[in-house]
Structure 1
């Protein structure tokens, strides 16, 4: 009977230890779950803030790009309309294609200067035929388009560099 009592006491002590250990681990798991939930919430909140910032920057960049596109598209359209008007004027004869005489060595207009002997004489300007004038205006149209595209791309790259906080000076050739 003494052994039964000892066995019962040991079983009671073992059960009490098991219950105390179980209580300890239950509290520990609950604490870890709570900490994990708090950490997940903090990560989720930070991700939401980061996404909001990125979304705002993206929308700003898109808006600036749209404004840039609108500005340079209008400028190009205006230049093309002007060029078409010049072409129409040359075609109907109300305008003529003229080149001012220039000193090609210095790239300065030679009007009102003493001139050296040249193949076109002492005339201040050279008149082109209507066909040559239209050809010059067609070349001018291509140049205007290319200049507008280059200007747009330069402004776009400056905007992207600024928005991405790259340290590229505005006058750096790309």
Structure 2
């Protein structure tokens, strides 16, 4: 090989070495830049995840607090309704015993008109009118108080449902 060829080959090798070194430096610089971008993106992603987790935890705490308040309010409503029902049933039982013992009388208001209903008109001066009272049998008296107890239970259930809808289901 001639000296000119050697110089040309040396220059080509140096040029290739410089080109390879430049490519290596560019590669390292680019990788470093991508690393910084990826680190920034990861930090942003972690911050977003933490924000989402905190918001979810806050919503869960609020939902649990609301549920707890509703349960407490429902328990108070239930206690009030139960107390009212027990009081009304006790009064009904007191009346039932008083009537059974003869201390009180069960009166059912009514009238028998001479010209109405299925009672025939009396032709004579002696008429039935509203002069007497009607005594109920023991079974009929028990039935009246049983019906009253059912009405008390139904009214208590209705009041409890209305209070629940008005106060808890808001």
- The normalised TM-score by structure 1 is 0.78
- Give 1:123 deviation, angstroms: 4.1
- Alignment of 1:2 with 2:27, yes or no, is no
- Give 1:149 deviation, angstroms: 0.7
- Larger relative contact order (Cα-Cα within 8 Å, sequence gap ≥ 6): 2
**Over residues 88-110 of structure 1, what are the superposed CA-to-partner deviations in whole Å (9 max), with x where a residue is unaligned?**
122222222211236xxxxxxxx
Q: Which residue pairs with 2:123 in the alignment?
A: none
Q: Which residue pairs with 1:41 in the alignment?
A: 50
Aligned runs of 1:1-174 on 2, under 5 Å?
Answer: 1-101=10-110, 116-117=113-114, 121-123=129-131, 126-162=134-170
Answer 1 or 2: which has greater strand percent: 1
Q: Which residue pairs with 1:172 in the alignment?
A: none
Answer 1 or 2: which has greater helix percent: 2
Aligned counterparts of 1:124 and 1:21: Cα–Cα separation in 2: 114
Aligned counterparts of 1:35 and 1:126: Cα–Cα separation in 2: 90
- Give 1:127 deviation, angstroms: 3.6
Aligned counterparts of 1:44 and 1:6: Cα–Cα separation in 2: 56
Structure 1: segments with no counterpart, 5+ residues: 103-114, 163-174
**Over residues 139-160 of structure 1, what are the superposed CA-to-partner deviations in whole Å (9 max), with x where a residue is unaligned?**
1101111111111111111223
Aligned counterparts of 1:145 and 1:2: Cα–Cα separation in 2: 109
Going from structure 1 to structure 2, the CA distance change for 1:125 and 1:152 (only over 3 Å counts) comes to farther
Q: Is the 8 A contact 2:73 2:168 kept in 1?
A: no
| Structure possessing the higher radius of gyration over alpha carbons | 2
